[in-house]
Amino acid sequence: MARHECAGQPARPEDLVDVASLVTAYYTRVPDPEDVDQQVAFGTSGHRGSALDTAFNEAHILATTQAICEYRRQQGTTGPLFLGRDTHALSEPAWASALEVLVANDVTVLVDATDRYTPTPAVSRAILAHNREAPAAATRTASW
């Protein structure tokens, strides 16, 4: 892989995202379900897309989280759901949206006790520790 010309350099103004516009787009843009570019798309680490392209917004998070709740109910999953967040600009709004749906569905949600960002390995470790200590298979949980 070739080294990018900007590697090791301070970010240029044109490289920076307007976080306020991004968050506003997350809450205000409504995806067109017929537009493939605005449909939910998952990558290796989760939902991918930009709110500015209406490819990652609150409607996506609400629908995806509701689907997770329904799947858990169908599978008889009663254990807690571990919900993490990272430093990406839309992680906090998406975290809050998901949390609202989970709580409305009576899902027990576990988050970082110090209200900080949670690296994926930390969430994975918490899930493994919970499952190791769970008294019965019915209380086991899965990562999201």
For residue 28, the one-letter residue type is: T
Task: Over range 80-88, report the average pLDDT.
Answer: 92
Q: What is the pLDDT of residues 1-40, one digit of tens each?
A: 788 888 899 989 888 889 999 999 999 999 999 998 888 8
Q: Give the pLDDT confidence score for residue 120 in this predicted structure.
A: 86
**The two three-digit tokens of residue 19, written as one number:** 């976080």
Q: What is the pLDDT of residues 29-74, one digit of tens each?
A: 999 999 988 888 776 666 678 899 998 999 999 999 999 999 999 9
pLDDT band for position 84 (cuts 50, 70, 90): very high
Q: What is the pLDDT of residues 114-141, one digit of tens each?
A: 989 998 899 999 999 998 887 665 454 5
Nearest to 101 by CA among 139, 141, 73: 73
**The two three-digit tokens of residue 121, written as one number:** 């390995």
**What CATH number labels 19-139?**
3.40.120.10
